[in-house]
Amino acid sequence: MNEITITKENFDEEVRNYRGMPVLLDFWAGWCGPCMMLSPIVSEIADEYDGKVKVGKVNVDEQPELAAAFRVESIPLIVVVKDGAITAQCVGLRPKEDIIKMINL
């Protein structure tokens, strides 16, 4: 499974109402250096945990409503959602192992 681009139009279907595996959301922007450094880590997780976690990318510049809904103040922001509820989140560049622990696989 590749990363899914999450927008306000597909958020309910892909995240809020999704039941089953956890959803890892990466809130990012193209001008954010740490976001660009985190992006390949998020891609690796999407590939390695295919079928165990859904990975979504939210561009905060293109999706200001979602950024506001999640009260994004700093990026990158990683949020894990399970059955419509936030179960974990962290701000900033993190090692892959820390993000995997957040998913609780």
Two tokens at 23?
């959803």
Q: Which residue has the tokens 């399970």?
A: 82
Residue 17 three-state SS: coil
- Going by their DSSP bridges, the two strands 23-28 and 77-82 should be labelled as antiparallel
Sheet holding 4-5, edge to edge: 4-5, 54-59, 23-28, 77-82, 85-91
The strand pairing partners of 67, in sequence order, are none
**Catalytic hit among 15, 25, 35, 55:** 35
Cα–Cα distance for residue pair 34/46, rounded to 1 Å: 18
- Does the active-site annotation cover 90? no
**Catalytic hit among 32, 38, 42, 66:** 32
**Catalytic residues, which ones?**
32, 35
